[in-house]
Structures are given as structure tokens and as C-alpha cells.
Amino acid sequence: MDRAEFTRAIEDQGLAVAEGLLDDTFINKMKAELEQAIEKEAEFHGTKSHKDYGMLLACPIYGGTFLTLADNATLMRPFDWILGDTCIIYVYTSSSMPPDRGNYSSRIHVDRPHFIPGYTEAMGCLVLLDDFTAEAGATWVLPGSHVHPDAPDEAYFWAHAVQVIAPRGSVFYFHLRLWHAGGENKTDKWRHSVGFGMVRGNMKQRIDLPRALHDTDLSGISDLGLQKLGFFSQPPSSLEEFYAPPEKRPYRQRSEWNKGTGPQTP
């Protein structure tokens, strides 16, 4: 992707689509792991009828491809262009539609209600694990709506919204102030995707991923992945932590990356 073209698309339209970013082998593996995790969360809730069925609240806690995806430099680079290279994951969920229905996203909404004119504090993406088609419930978006402080009238939204039609393996990037709505899956198969919400590095995460992943083997994740997961954005809790060498600190500057083997407890 060209940086200038991507930045202009986000600023003007509030969205951009990059096709072919992930290959079939990775997608198939992630889909299998996603479906297993969805059933685990249904067991946690004790039912498949809970309102968030099909959505994983924190994908990284399931490890595997979910961690690998957070370590994908090509996927993360556009976030750095807009939010700076210290940006971190605020939320990392799935958005999967069961057969013959919509899901929690099938309403006109915005993911970041706080409006700051001329400033982008957050950006998101959907990683398409299945083809996004009209029949499969592709997301509806209202281009340019991210620059308006007020919610669009429902009639206006449906009169001017367009669907994000793209093949699996694509990544749909969008400004989190963009008004959008999930479609309705009219097929007899699940329609899967996973999504990131990214914020600037001085902001809090929805779930404290470093704490949530405390007992997870992260030896295969690079400093880029660890930084995006929030490991280098934790405030020090003591003078000892503040003055510790980089590889033993809960925070690091980019210039201090790759000086350790992963997150450690000081």
C-alpha cells in the first residue's frame, strides 16, 4: 500500500481496503482456531443465546494465529502511518455472523463516540476470513461520516451507505468514527472476520493484554508484536522498574526494541 494514498483515503473517506494481505493457509488455520474459541466462550456463558455469540472479547488469549496476526508488520504498518509507531491494540475481537442472521454489529453505530475535530485518536480494521459479499452480510459504511460530530439520520444512512465487498484475505481499514452497520448473513455458513481497534500508545486498553497473557508463551513473538499487544506501554510501578535495563522494563521506546528476548518480570 502507498502511504500517501492510504492516508488520503482514511482522511477523506474514512476507509481503505487492502486485498490479498493474508494467504489461504493462514486463513484456514485461523478460521479453525476461531470456531473452536467461539465454542469455548459459549461454554463460559453457558449458552449460545448470549448477545455476543460469535464474538471473542479478547482474541490473543487463545494464542496461535491470533498472536501471529498481531505480529504481522504489513498489517500493522498502516496503523503506524495514522497513529504513530507507538500505537497499541485497544481491542482485538472477532466479528462472526452465524448462518441466516446478523450479529451484534447489525445496527448503525460508531465504534469511537468521542469526536475530536481534526485529530485521529483511534483506527480499526476487519481481517476478512471469508468473502465479504452482499449475501454474506458485508459491512455497510457511510463514507466521509467520520468527520461529522452527529449521528446520521437512519434514512440518510441507508440512502448513501455502501457495502465493503472484498475477497477473503483482505483487510478493511477504517476510522473508528466512521458510521457503519453489519449486514445480514443470508447464507447457510458462518461468515468470519477478526478485528483490531488501535489507539495511540498513551491510551488504555479495553482489556489489559499484558496481564491477560502473563502465563502465555510469547517466545515466538517479535518486539513489534509485543509492542502492539501493549507490553512496552505499561507505566513503571517503582523506581526499580523505571531504572531497570530495557529488557527488564514494562515500557520501552522504539530505540530500545530487540534488546531483550521478550516480556520479563523485573
Kindly report, residue by residue over 147-190, the tens digit of the pLDDT: 999 999 999 999 999 999 999 999 999 999 999 999 999 999 99
Q: Measure the CA–CA gap between 197 and 44, rounded to whole angstroms.
A: 24
Q: Measure the CA–CA gap between 97 and 133, rounded to whole angstroms.
A: 13
Q: Measure the CA–CA gap between 195 and 129, rounded to whole angstroms.
A: 11
Kindly report, residue by residue over 217-229, the tens digit of the pLDDT: 999 999 999 999 9
- Residue 114 is predicted with a pLDDT of 86
- Residue 227 is predicted with a pLDDT of 95
The more confident residue out of 76 and 250 is 76
Residue 29: which H helix or E strand, with range?
helix 24-45
Q: Measure the CA–CA gap between 102 and 219, rounded to whole angstroms.
A: 38
Q: Is residue 265 pLDDT above 50, yes or no?
A: no
Q: What are the extents of the domains in the chain?
A: 3-235
Question: How does the average pLDDT of the chain come out, rounded?
Answer: 92
The band of 49, judged by pLDDT with boundaries at 50, 70 and 90, is confident
Q: Measure the CA–CA gap between 73 and 64, rounded to whole angstroms.
A: 17
3 state SS of 163? strand
Q: How many Cα atoms are found within 13 Å in the side-chain-facing hemisphere of 212?
A: 17
Q: Is residue 98 pLDDT above 60, yes or no?
A: yes
Is the domain 3-235 a CATH 3.40.50.150 member?
Answer: no
Q: Is residue 88 pLDDT above 90, yes or no?
A: yes
3 state SS of 33? helix
The band of 266, judged by pLDDT with boundaries at 50, 70 and 90, is very low
Q: Is the CB of residue 230 less than 8 Å from the CB of residue 210?
A: yes
Bridge partner list, 196: 92, 125
- Residue 260 is predicted with a pLDDT of 52
Closest CA to 178 of 230, 128, 105, 103: 105
> What mean pLDDT is predicted for residues 240-259?
85
Helices 3-12 and 73-83 pack at an angle, to 10 degrees, of 60
Using the structure block, give the residue that is written with the C-alpha cell 443470508.
Answer: 186
pTM of the model: 0.91
- Residue 264 is predicted with a pLDDT of 46
